[in-house]
Amino acid sequence: MLNKILLNTLLATCFFALVACSSSLPEVAKTPSYKLAPPTDSSLYQYLQGSLVQHPDKTGVLPLGSGVDAFLARLAIVHAARRSIDLQYYIYRADETGRMLVWYLIDAADRGVRIRLLLDDLTTKTLDEGLMILASHPNIEVRLFNPSYERTFRNLAMITGFSRLNHRMHNKSLTVDNLITIVGGRNIGNEYFSKNKEVDFGDFDLLTIGKAVDKVSDQFDLYWNAPVVHDIASLTEPVTASMVAKAQANMAQRQAQFEGDEFLERLEFSELLNKIRTTQMAWFWGEAEVIYDPPEKAIGAQQDQWLLSDLGRFLAKAKQQVLLISPYFVPTKSGSEALIAAVKNGVKVTVVTNSLAATDVLAVHAGYQRYRQLLLENGVTIYEMKVDVNHRPSAWKGSSRSSLHAKTFVLDAHAVFVGSFNFDPRSAWINTELGLIFYDEVFASLILSGIDNNLRENAYRVGVEEGELVWFDDSQSTTYYSEPDASFWRKLMADLIGLLPIESQL
C-alpha cells in the first residue's frame, strides 16, 4: 500500500512538473539578427538584374505547380546563394528531399553563406540532435517557434501545456540573398515534391523576385527575433565532436547511396531546369502585397494585425467571382453566411477542396460536411478532388496517392492569393500564416484556366437533387449518390467525428 502511495505521489509530482515546464518558457537571451543587403557581384544578382531593372517597384512571380519543379527551384536558389539564406517552415521531414536540401545548405554554409533556419517545434520531436549538429556549424543558426521546454515527454507536455503549445507557426518561406524567395503551401518533405510513393500533395508555390522579397525578409526578421522563438541550443543538450563526426560520415554514406536515385533524373529533366539554363524565365509582373500574422498571435495578441483581416478585406472586393482552393475547408457559420451573402450580391463563389476519399485529415472533412449542403442550396459551387482509386486511404488515416494541399484564392480574374492559409478556424484564429497577394490579370486568368481544365478530369462537381447530395463526374458522365470512393468505415468515422465539439480546433 505504501509503495502504491509513493508511486502515485511520484507520478503526480512528475505530472505537475511537466505542467510547469509546458505552461511557459523561461526568458532566454538570444542575439538578434536581420536581413542582409543583396550582393551585387553574385551570379544570381546578375541573372536577375536585367528583369528587375525593366520592372522597378514591381514584383515578379513564377508559378511552381509541379512538385519536382518546386524542389528544383529550392535547390537552385540555395546553390546560387552568396550571402544569406532564410528558411521558415511548419514541417521539415528528415527524408530524402529534406536531407538533400540540408546537403545544399551545408555546402552554402561552407562557402560562407549565413543560414537562419526557423522551424515550428511541433514536428521536431526526433530532430533535436540533427538540428544541434547543424547549428554547430559557424554559419548556421537554428531556432524553434513556440517550443516545448520538455524535450523528452513531448506528447505529455502537449497535453499539459495545450493552451500554449496548440498555437503553431504555419508560415512557409525560403529566401536567398534578399533577392529571391519562395512562398506558398509546401512544407519540406517527400510528399510535397512528388517523391513519396504513398501520398502526393498537389500544392502550389510562387518563385518570387522584386519588391515583395524585402517584405518577406521583414516578416522573417520579425519572427526570428520574437520572444516566442528560441535557439535550439537553449532547449537541448550540446553535441560532441564525435557526434558531429559520426553525422558527417553518415551524410557521406547517404549521399553515395542517393547518387543513383531516380528522383535525381527527374530533377535533371524538369521543365524548370531547362528554363533556368536557357534563361527563358517568363516572369509575371505586377503589384503585390505580403500579408502575415504577427508572431504574437501565438499568445492571442495584436488581433488587429492578423492576416485574417487583410484577407477579409481582399475577398470583400470581389465584384464578379471568387475561387477558393483550400484542402482543409471549414467555413464556420459566419464564414458560410459571408459566402452566401456574396452570392446574393451577384458574385460567383466556387470552392475547391478535398473529397472524403482524398482528404488526409478526417476531422476537417467532418467539420466541412456540416456546411456543404447549406452552401450548395444557396448558390455556392463546390468541387471535391478525386482520390487515386489505386491508393485509397484507410478508414482511420489519410493516405491517398493524390491529395489537394494548395491554398490559393482568385478574385475577379484580377488578383491571386497564394500562401499557407487554409479556409478554416485553425488558420484564422490559432496558427500563424503567411501569403502573397499578386495583382495581374494575365496571371490570374492563367490560374483560372488551368484550374478549369483540371476540375473536369480530377474533381467531382457536388450538387443537390431532391434535397440530397449528389456528386457528378463530368468526365465520365457518372453520378454518385454517396461520397464517391470512400469506404463505409471512412464515412462512418467522419460522421462520428462530426458530432464532437471540436470545430474551433480544425
Share of the chain above pLDDT 70, in %: 92
pLDDT band at 11 (very low <50, low <70, confident <90, very high): very low
Residue 4 lies in a domain: no
Bridge partner residues of 464 (DSSP): 469
Selected residue with higher pLDDT from 497 and 15: 497
Asked about 365 being catalytic, the answer comes back as no
pLDDT band at 15 (very low <50, low <70, confident <90, very high): very low
Q: Are residues 98 and 194 in the same domain?
A: yes
Determine which one of 35, 58, 167, 172 is catalytic: 172
Q: Are residues 127 and 269 in the same domain?
A: yes
Determine which one of 69, 120, 177, 203 is catalytic: 177
Asked about 412 being catalytic, the answer comes back as yes
Q: Which three cell numbers stand for residue 284?
A: 509575371
Determine which one of 35, 170, 195, 365 is catalytic: 170
Specify the pairing of strand 200-202 against strand 180-184.
Answer: unpaired
Q: Are residues 259 and 386 in the same domain?
A: no
pLDDT band at 125 (very low <50, low <70, confident <90, very high): confident
Residue 385 lies in a domain: yes
Please say if the pLDDT value at position 399 is more than 50. Answer: no
Asked about 407 being catalytic, the answer comes back as yes
pLDDT band at 129 (very low <50, low <70, confident <90, very high): very high
pLDDT in tens, 250-278: 999 999 999 989 999 999 888 888 888 77
Q: Are residues 241 and 355 in the same domain?
A: no
Asked about 388 being catalytic, the answer comes back as no
Structural domains counted in the chain: 2
Q: Are residues 351 and 472 in the same domain?
A: yes
Asked about 386 being catalytic, the answer comes back as no
Q: Give the pLDDT score at 395.
A: 41
Determine which one of 297, 386, 407, 414 is catalytic: 407
Residue 394 lies in a domain: yes
Q: Are residues 411 and 481 in the same domain?
A: yes
Q: Are 368 and 503 in contact (CB under 8 A)?
A: no
Mean pLDDT rounded to a whole number for the chain? 90
**Residue 125's CATH number:** 3.30.870.10
pLDDT in tens, 130-177: 999 999 999 999 999 999 988 888 888 888 889 999 999 999 999 999
Print the domain residue range for 360. Answer: 306-505
DSSP H or E run through 453: helix 441-458
Last residue of a domain, one of 256, 277, 298: 277
Please say if the pLDDT value at position 182 is more than 80. Answer: yes
Residue 33 lies in a domain: no
Alpha-carbon distance of 332 to 334, in angstroms, equals 6
Determine which one of 412, 473, 474, 491 is catalytic: 412
Q: Are residues 267 and 313 in the same domain?
A: no
Q: Give the pLDDT score at 320.
A: 95
Please say if the pLDDT value at position 21 is more than 70. Answer: no
Determine which one of 215, 405, 414, 440 is catalytic: 405
Q: Are residues 363 and 482 in the same domain?
A: yes
Please say if the pLDDT value at position 401 is more than 70. Answer: no
Closest CA to 355 of 323, 303, 402: 402
Q: Classify the phi-psi angles of 238: left when phi > 0, otherwise alpha if psi is within -120 to 50, otherwise beta.
A: beta
Residue 261 lies in a domain: yes
User: Which amino acid, residue 296?
Assistant: E
Residue 76 lies in a domain: yes
Cα–Cα distance list, 158 to 36, 151, 175 (Å): 36, 11, 31
Burial of 110 (0-12, 13-18, 19+ CB in 10 A): exposed
Asked about 177 being catalytic, the answer comes back as yes
Q: Are residues 315 and 439 in the same domain?
A: yes
Which residues are CB-neighbours of 345 under 8 A, at least 6 positions away?
none
Q: Are residues 230 and 91 in the same domain?
A: yes
Its pTM surpasses 0.85: yes
Residue 313 lies in a domain: yes
Residue 30 lies in a domain: no
Q: Are residues 229 and 349 in the same domain?
A: no
Q: Are residues 255 and 324 in the same domain?
A: no
Alpha-carbon distance of 298 to 227, in angstroms, equals 11
pLDDT band at 25 (very low <50, low <70, confident <90, very high): low
pLDDT in tens, 379-392: 999 999 998 755 55
Q: Which three cell numbers stand for residue 71?
A: 524542389
